[in-house]
Amino acid sequence: MYSVLIVDDEVHAVKAIESAIDWDKLQISEVYTAYNIRQAKDIFSRHSVDLMLCDIEMPQGSGLELLEWVREHYSKTESVFLTCHADFHFAKQAMKLGSLDYILKPIPYAELEKVIEAATAKIDKDSELAQYSEYGQHWFKQQPIMTEHFWLDVLNQTIPASETAIREAAHERLLPYAESVRYLPLLISVKHWRKKLSVRDEKIMEMALRNAAAETILNHGTIGQLVQWDKDKLVALIPGNHAEHLQTDTLKESCSVFIAACHAYFYCEISCYIGEPVPSDKLSAMARRLAGMDLNNVAHSSIVLHTGESSRSEEMKHPDLSLWAVLLKEGSTDKLQTAIYEHLQECVQTGTLDAKRLHTFQQDFLQMMYYMLQMKGIQAHQLFGDDESIELSGRAVRSVTDMCAWTKHIAAKATDYARSVEDTQTVVDRVIAYIKQNQNKEITREELANLVFLNPDYLTRIFKKQTGLSISDYLLQERLQVAKGLLIQTDMSVSAIALHVGYANFSHFSRMFKKYAGVNPLEFRQSSGAKL
């Protein structure tokens, strides 16, 4: 038998839980109540509490503070939060402090009973583990991890795809294994995160997704095994004895509930792919088939698909790139983006879009983009070499949403820079400023062209048109002007001045100086009356 403590500042909420739950059925012998943190701590000091049901926001101290205190003084007590606020900050804090679950008010009592059952089952399991030796406890605690690693090796074929090899690997790892069992794999794929997450928050969200999948699809983890197959991909393995009783429609319904929860609470779009029951040596092939379905599902997110569902394979309509090129050239990026979106949506509606065709679309769009940039002398690999452009390009073929984000990004970036190139004064000013800052270094024409994302020949033409000098002549003129100033105003040696303006060869510096000034550096200094 177990004991429960209900903590809530709302008296009617506490009474409602007391009367609505069938405590005898759940083997709860003692139900304690408290209306603030002080009363809760007093009950802990006088009674043993197995499970605490606690509101988060209370006027005399939050439930998070109480849970932190309970974790420190009564670590074996399991906790479940009850709250009116679907706030990710609260959920994150609760998970960090070790809360078993997080339920929104108004409380669905049937769901609360399931959570209490899961809590008592966990208490029993923890109690059972405590009876074993230190080695035994360690092995039992590690068994779920070892089991997941075993199935991950099966999926990746690190363990060869043969019944004998899989049986021997399970035996070596001291894991239970039945040869006759068939497994139904179900692939869970995160198609898109709607919110930018830090690395830490992403890990928390992945754990929340995993817990939600175990609860909604695998009945609180009692009917199968979850495997983290890849980043943003989980595989649920449902053994045959359960898979036989789970109809496809039932699985689809569970997946739909999971997808809706992920959309509402976890800032992501999820798609699920249901396979066929197969022997363990065929699991890898079936999982890869599901991964192929996910790869080709570029049109939809938040969807459940089964391997038995056929896909259409009509020829995809090609876009009018000549019209798009005109829109791009004129800088009409909004009209271009509208045209791209309408074209891709038409392909989605006709069922003609898959990963390969979306990749082809990306290449055609790039060809149009590169041709426009080439006409303007802009080097595309320099313009789109930043981290954001590279990341968006890599994700573009994953979905229509990602493709639209990528085309919008590069079209806007290309158009904005093309406009700045048309203002040659801006481009030339940047080159001149760079020359002035680095005239004591070796500067090449290619280096300057890369600086402004232009073709070297094109940069040379617009530079000469603007200044009347070639880049090399302008650079020489700038260096000699600085050298003249140093010869007149300082007592630096001629060789030191040569190095300062970028000439490692003293003789070459003297020849160039005389060619443009009419006298050598020493004669120029003497004629100017400067101190030696």
Consecutive sets of 10 residues in the chain, 532 residues long: mean pLDDT of each? 91 90 92 93 93 84 85 88 64 58 80 89 78 52 82 94 92 84 93 82 86 87 86 90 66 90 88 92 94 89 81 68 84 89 88 86 90 76 84 89 92 81 68 79 82 83 86 85 87 87 83 86 78 40
Q: Looking at the structure, tell me whether residues 381 and 478 fall in a common domain.
A: no
Q: Which of 72, 107, 130 is where one domain is finished? A: 130
User: What is the per-residue pLDDT for 299?
Assistant: 84
Say if residue 398 is in the same domain as residue 445: no
Beta bridge partners of 278: 183
Q: Angle CA(32)–CA(37)–CA(40) in degrees, nearest 5? A: 25
- Give yes or no: residues 270 and 203 share one domain: yes
pLDDT of residue 168: 92
Statement to judge: residues 33 and 61 lie in one domain: yes
Q: Which of 521, 487, 517, 493 is nearest to 507 (CA)?
A: 521
C-beta of residue 221 within 8 angstroms of C-beta of residue 227 = no
Secondary structure class of 103 (helix, strand, coil): strand
Task: State the pLDDT at residue 241.
Answer: 64
Write the CB contacts of 111 (distance below 8 Å, at least 6 apart in sequence): 103
Q: Is residue 161 part of a domain?
A: no
Query: Of 403, 422, 441, which closes a domain?
Result: 422
User: In whole angstroms, what is the distance from residue 465 CA to residue 306 CA?
Assistant: 64
- Give SS3 for 131: coil
In a domain, 95, yes or no: yes
Name the DSSP letter for residue 396. G
Domain presence at residue 188: yes
CATH code of the domain in which 452 resides: 1.10.10.60
In this predicted structure, what is the pLDDT of residue 521? 87
pLDDT (0 to 100) of residue 61: 79
Residue 343 located in a structural domain: yes
* Residue 98 and residue 81 in one domain: yes
Residue 72: which residues within 8 A CB-CB, separation 6 or more?
A: none
pTM: 0.52
Place of tokens 């043993």: 48
Assess whether 246 and 199 both reside in one domain.
yes
Say whether both 403 and 444 belong to one domain: no
**Smallest Cα–Cα separation from 414: which of 323, 320, 325, 321?**
325
Say which amino acid occupies 232.
Answer: D
184 with 283, same domain: the answer is yes
Residue 240 lies in a domain: yes
Report whether 402 contacts 359 (CB < 8 A).
no
Asked whether residue 125 falls in the same domain as residue 28, the answer is yes
Per-residue HEC secondary structure of 136-191 comes to HHHHHHHHHHHHHHHHHHHHCCCCCCCHHHHHHHHHHCCCCCCCCCEEEEEEEEEE
Tell me if 365 is assigned to some domain. yes
Partners of residue 233 on adjacent β-strands:
189, 230
| Spatial separation of the C-alpha atoms in residues 191 and 176, rounded to whole Å | 34
Residues 6+ apart with CB under 8 A from 181: 239, 240, 241, 280
Q: Are residues 297 and 346 in the same domain?
A: no
| Residue 387, helix vs strand vs coil | helix
Kindly write down the DSSP assignment for every residue of 246-309, as one continuous string: S-HHHHHHHHHHHHHHHHHHSSEEEEEEE---EEGGGHHHHHHHHHHHHHH--S-SS-EEETTS
Q: What does the pLDDT read at residue 94?
A: 54
292 and 371, same domain (yes or no): no
Neighbours of 203 (CB within 10 A): 11
Domain residue limits at 480: 424-527
Dihedral angle sign, alpha carbons of residues 365, 370, 372, 378: positive
On whether residue 44 sits in a domain, the answer given is: yes
Three-class HEC string of 204-245 = HHHHHHHHHHHHHCCCCCCCCEEEEEECCEEEEEEEHHHHCC
What's the CATH code of the domain at 49?
3.40.50.2300
Q: Which of 380, 397, 422 is the last residue of a domain?
A: 422
Which residue type occupies 432?
I
- Mention every residue, 6+ apart, whose C-beta is less than 8 A from residue 367: none
Joined tokens for residue 48:
């043993």
Domain count, the chain: 4
Residues 444 and 485 in one domain: yes
CATH number at residue 223: 3.30.70.270
Is residue 143, in this structure, part of any structural domain at all? no
